[in-house]
Amino acid sequence: MKLIITSIKHDFTGLIDVDLLVDGKEYSFVLGSENDLEGFVRLAKYKPGKALCFVKKVNLNKRKEDIE
């Protein structure tokens, strides 16, 4: 699995938008704190599978289809 962080944007409300490429597919997540971002970046460097699971758990931008 190849995980590439394409952009990290800090919002004025304190939220962090993270855009990823995972094996050619684009994903977008919203994180709520710097601690979540640091944990994700640390995992993404050596364990991309765990990093993807981590960011899916702490994602604040959950759609109804993702929950069901």
Residue spans of the domains in the chain: they are: 3-67
- pLDDT score for 67: 41
- pLDDT score for 62: 60
Give the up-direction half-sphere exposure of residue 1: CA atoms within 13 A in the CB hemisphere. Answer: 15
| pLDDT tier at 7, thresholds 50, 70, 90 | very high
Rounded CA gap, 14 and 34, in Å? 9
Question: Whole-model pTM?
Answer: 0.76
- pLDDT score for 68: 40
